[in-house]
Structure 1
Amino acid sequence: MTHLAARVGARVRELREGRGLSLSELARRAEIGKGTLSELEGGGRNPTLETLYSLTTALDVPLSAVLHGLTPVAEVSGRAVDAVLTERIKDDEAVTETYRIQIRPGSVQESAAHAPGTTEHIVVLTGTARVGPRSAPQVLGPGAHGSWSADVAHVYEAPSERVEALLVVRYKR
Structure 2
Amino acid sequence: MGDSPDRSVRGMLALNLKRARAQRGLSLSELSRRSKIGKATLSQLESGTGNPTIETVFSLSRVLEMPISDLLDTRPPAGLRVVRAKDVEVLSGDAVDLRPLQRIESGDAVFEIYDQQVRAGCRRDSLGHVGTEHTIVQAGRLGVSVDGHEVELEPGDYVGFDAALPHSYSAQEETVRSVLLLQYRPDQRLRPHASGPPDGERVGCGD
Calculate the TM-score normalised by the size of structure 1: 0.88
Question: Which consecutive residues of structure 1, in runs of 5 or more, have no partner in the other structure?
Answer: none
Q: Is the 8 A contact 1:76 1:83 kept in 2?
A: yes
Given the alignment, which residue of 32, 42, 50 partners 1:45?
A: 50
Give a deviation string over 1:95-137, Cα, whole Å, max 9, x none: 211111111000111122112xx22111100000012415123
* 1:55 is the counterpart of 2:60: yes
Structure 2 distance, partners of 1:142, 1:123, is 8
* 1:104 is the counterpart of 2:119: yes
Matches within 5 A, 1:5-24: 5-24=10-29
Given the alignment, which residue of 148, 152, 161 partners 1:139?
A: 152
* 1:79 is the counterpart of 2:94: yes
Could you tell me which residue of structure 1 aligns to residue 175 of structure 2?
Answer: 162
Structure 2 distance, partners of 1:132, 1:64, is 24
* Amino acid across the alignment from 1:46: N
* Amino acid across the alignment from 2:46: E
Q: Is the 8 A contact 1:134 1:155 kept in 2?
A: no
Given the alignment, which residue of 104, 107, 110 partners 1:95?
A: 110
Q: Is the 8 A contact 2:12 2:73 kept in 1?
A: no
* Amino acid across the alignment from 1:158: A
* Amino acid across the alignment from 1:80: A
Structure 2 distance, partners of 1:170, 1:132, is 19
* Amino acid across the alignment from 1:141: E
Q: Which runs of 4+ in 1 moved over 4 A?
A: none
Task: Give the number of the structure with larger relative contact order, counting CA–CA contacts within 8 Å between residues 6 or more apart.
Answer: 2
User: Which of 1 and 2 has greater Rg?
Assistant: 2
Could you tell me which residue of structure 2 aligns to residue 119 of structure 1?
Answer: 132
How far apart are residue 37 of structure 1 and its match?
A: 0.7
The verdict on how the C-alpha distance between 1:112 and 1:74 changes in structure 2, with shifts beyond 3 A counting, is: farther
* Amino acid across the alignment from 1:162: T
Cα-Cα RMSD: 2.1
* Amino acid across the alignment from 1:24: S
SS, match of residue 120 in structure 2: coil
Structure 2 distance, partners of 1:109, 1:28, is 22
Structure 1 distance, partners of 2:41, 2:172, is 31
How far apart are residue 165 of structure 1 and its match?
A: 0.6
**Sequence identity, in percent?**
39
Given the alignment, which residue of 15, 30, 34 partners 1:29?
A: 34
SS, match of residue 142 in structure 1: coil
Q: Is the 8 A contact 1:102 1:164 kept in 2?
A: yes
Question: Which consecutive residues of structure 2, in runs of 5 or more, have no partner in the other structure?
Answer: 1-7, 76-86, 188-207
Calculate the TM-score normalised by the size of structure 2: 0.75
Give a deviation string over 1:25-63, Cα, whole Å, max 9, x none: 111121211111111111221111011111121111011
> How many residues align structurally?
170
